Amino acid sequence: MLTRSFAELTKCRLREFIREPSAAFFVFSMPILWMIILGLAFSSKHKEEISIGLIIPSVLKDSKSTQKLLKNLTREDHFKIIEASQTELRRKLRQNQISFILEVNEDFNLSYIYDATNPKSLLHKYEVDNLIQAEFGRRDSLATKDHPYTPSGSRYIDFLVPGLLALSLLTTSLFGTGMIIVVSRREKLLQRFLVTPMKPIEYFLSHITSRLIIVFFEVLAILLAAYFFFGFFVEGSLFSYFLVSFLGALCFTSLAILCSSRGKNSSAYSGFSNLIMILLMLLSGIWFSRGNFPIWLQNLSVFSPLSALVDALRKIALEGESLFQLTPEVSILLVYSLIFIGLSRKTFRWM
Amino acid sequence: MKKQRNEIPLKVVNLSKSYDEVKALKGLNFSLEQGSCVGLLGPNGAGKTTTCHLVSGLLKPDSGEILIHGMSFKNSRQEILENIGIQLQESRFYEKYTVKETFELFASFYRHHRNIAETLGELGLSEKKDKRLSALSGGEKQRVYLGCALIHDPQLLILDEPMTSLDPSSQKQTREFIASLKDQGKTILLCTHNMSEAKRLCDSILILDQGELICQGSCDELIEKISGRNILSFSLKKPEEYPKLKKLLEWLPEEFSPTQELGLNDGVEKAEELSRAMKNLSLEVSKLSLREASLEDVFFKATGRSFHANTKFR
């Protein structure tokens, strides 16, 4: 199988990739940039700020109890005290700019005004009230101790990395392989190849092989970046992780060959690829769990190749599942690859 | 497998091809002798590129047969492609590839290929071998394309408009290179709409028009048989006096036209005769000229249409 022309064509694909800096940027840098941006955005280690609207009657301003209350509230870095009139504070509460209003009456009794339909408002009110009660002498009847724990794989970044990797494999296949084919047809290079003894299968295999070589480095780069920036690691077998990634790349490269099997217009191809990508992305639950979808859509989305790849990668990375346990996802990817290759054979035009 | 010299490199028999309702080729017949350079000429849309694509195996004919060294695409496609060198119009290669890499890529498609360094040398590209195609001039790129057609040392070359969109200097370089191929004994089918290019390079010419072969032969033969070696043109200040002239010189056409052009094989004698007659009749002449006929004149005469415009031949 490894003929001289196949080897030269594969070298050609790799040279094209290496000599196109924007391609390398999109393959390696984009997913890592996305990971860093989203990872940082959703993994803040700081406590969430609690804005408290405070009303204290002027007669109590200088009282010892008021001073003690203010001292306790201002001691906490994540508490933000806003003093204003009740009308103004109610407006802020309505606009969700504060969590609740703490009103002190002249007998130093405390009233909380909060949005009962907002769980955060309720939580924040309890947190502040507990602190004040403890400072003013309340004793708990039972001793308690907190043990904060973040289970492995439960962070958003753990959920995100396999999705980003799958998305990257889809986009780089569609826009890398597909676009090269469309441009080569437009430039009549495919037609030129056709009048040589080169076997067409070698041309397609060169695309797939070069993609798999690039995918190896793509996966490696994303995993290393995820490990160094966020401590992400693959619970299951790295071999399986790479193998499933290769299978995903095979499936999407076949899809790219199918999508580019006729056209000569790169803009039209770009639009078409974007449409396919958006559809697959919406179905796949890359950004958020598919559990939020209606049941019928959840059932349907399982059969999307991107969903199968995302699920398989997540199961290996987060749950340590073996390839055998991933038979449904692997089968979906294989079946799609065969369908796309079969259809490409029927529809591909060299001119 | 290199073919024997006594086999006909290319034979086209009754070749027809249609695109939807348009008949691009209507029963084309011709053959190429070993070592000949044959020009396939015709205006845009005459069927040249269709012929090139058919004999390259890019298109399948509706009917007819193409035999290359006695083989047909139907039975021996790979074998044929191993033995012909093809340069297609407007094909563009990877711009980020170097000249040498491009040759290596194309060489890899063939069972046997020439030494790449030697090929680079013959094409005058040795110093440019590590340059990317994007950094080459039009003429240099054209030589790279020709090099890719020659990399496997084929005996039959099909060149589709090899000089189109080249500047005059690049055209000259390419023409000289094609002439050198001819000297090496290669058989060449040169598809072109450039008559002077065909006249300079080709041993014989096939002129196509609207999918039909309207004439064939060597350039001189075609000129002599169809248009005449010389083109005589004249006009009179008083066209109404033309009948007097016609009465004296029977070989003149019946009708006079101010843009009169006459194709003649004995143009010099006839021009002297005309000049004498005009003098004797005291006719005032506004124009009298004699020039050598070209292939444009052959096409003009054969089709009644200009090669480049739709003016009527008179």
Q: Confidence class of residue B314 from pLDDT cuts 50, 70 and 90?
A: very low
The verdict on B25 and B93 lying in the same domain is yes
A50-135 — its CATH code? 3.40.190.10
pLDDT of residue B283: 80
pLDDT of residue A138: 84
Is residue B252 predicted with pLDDT exceeding 50?
Answer: yes
Question: CB-based contacts of A266: which residues, under 8 Å, 6+ apart?
Answer: A179, A182, A183, A186
Domain boundary among B162, B195, B217: B217
Q: How far is CA B293 from CA B199, B251, B268, B289, in A?
A: 12, 18, 13, 12
Please report residues of B whose CB lies closer than 8 A to that of A193: 109
pLDDT digits (tens, 9 = 90+) for A90-137: 998 888 889 999 999 888 889 999 988 888 888 899 989 988 888 888
Question: CB-based contacts of B269: which residues, under 8 Å, 6+ apart?
Answer: none
The verdict on B230 and B141 lying in the same domain is no
Q: Is residue B308 part of a domain?
A: no
Domains: count for chain B: 2
Q: Which two tokens stand for residue B66?
A: 């193409």
Question: What DSSP state is assigned to residue A177?
Answer: I
Cβ pair B189, B30 in contact under 8 A? no
Please report residues of B whose CB lies closer than 8 A to that of A351: 58
ipTM of the complex: 0.82
Q: Is residue B31 part of a domain?
A: yes
Q: In the block, which residue shows the tokens 């003098």?
A: B279
The verdict on B197 and B275 lying in the same domain is no
Cβ pair B36, B203 in contact under 8 A? yes
pLDDT of residue B32: 92
Going by C-alpha positions, the residue among A257, A213, A230 that lies closest to residue A348 is A257
The verdict on B166 and B286 lying in the same domain is no
pLDDT digits (tens, 9 = 90+) for B87-136: 988 788 888 899 999 999 999 999 989 899 988 988 888 899 999 999 99
pLDDT digits (tens, 9 = 90+) for B177-229: 888 888 888 999 998 887 888 888 898 999 888 888 888 888 888 888 888 88
pLDDT of residue A170: 92
% pLDDT > 90, chain B: 28
pLDDT of residue B265: 78
Interchain proximity A196–B93, CB inside 8 Å: no
Mean pLDDT of B62-90: 90
Residues in chain A where the model's pLDDT stays below 50: none
Going by C-alpha positions, the residue among A85, A56, A86 that lies closest to residue A69 is A56
- Show the DSSP H helices in chain A as ranges: 4-18, 21-24, 30-41, 64-75, 86-94, 119-135, 156-172, 179-186, 189-194, 200-230, 238-259, 266-284, 295-301, 305-319, 327-347
CA atoms within 13 A on the CB side of A258: 17
Domain boundary among B217, B241, B257: B217
Cβ pair B80, B66 in contact under 8 A? no
Is residue B311 predicted with pLDDT exceeding 80?
Answer: no
- Among chain A residues, the shortest Cα distance to B132 is held by A19
Look up the CATH number of the domain holding residue B267. 3.30.70
Map out the domains of chain A as residue ranges. Answer: 4-42+155-347, 50-135
**Cα distance between residue B185 and residue B37, in whole Å:** 9
Q: Confidence class of residue B273 from pLDDT cuts 50, 70 and 90?
A: confident
The verdict on B29 and B110 lying in the same domain is yes
Cβ pair A102, A54 in contact under 8 A? yes
% pLDDT > 70, chain B: 93
Look up the CATH number of the domain holding residue B97. 3.40.50.300
The verdict on B228 and B189 lying in the same domain is no
Q: In the block, which residue shows the tokens 């559809």?
A: A279
Is residue B312 predicted with pLDDT exceeding 50?
Answer: no
Q: Is residue B246 part of a domain?
A: yes
Of A5, A191, A192, the CB nearest to B108: A5
Chain B 32-61, CB below 8 Å of chain A: which residues?
A: 56-58
pLDDT of residue B66: 93
Pick the more confident residue, A262 or B307. A262
Q: Is residue B1 part of a domain?
A: no
The verdict on B231 and B265 lying in the same domain is yes
Domain boundary among B217, B246, B271: B217
Pick the more confident residue, A226 or B171. A226
The verdict on B284 and B169 lying in the same domain is no
pLDDT of residue B5: 45
Q: In the block, which residue shows the tokens 């890359």?
A: A286
Question: CB-based contacts of B294: which residues, under 8 Å, 6+ apart?
Answer: B195, B196, B199, B223
The verdict on B229 and B161 lying in the same domain is no
Question: CB-based contacts of A314: which residues, under 8 Å, 6+ apart?
Answer: A159, A162, A163
Structural domain boundaries enclosing B139: 10-217
Q: Is residue B313 part of a domain?
A: no
Q: Is residue B273 part of a domain?
A: yes
Q: Is residue B93 part of a domain?
A: yes
Chain B closest-CA separation from residue A246 CA (Å): 26
pLDDT of residue B313: 37
Structure pTM? Answer: 0.77
Interchain proximity B108–A188, CB inside 8 Å: no
Going by C-alpha positions, the residue among B23, B14, B99 that lies closest to residue B64 is B14
The verdict on B250 and B189 lying in the same domain is no
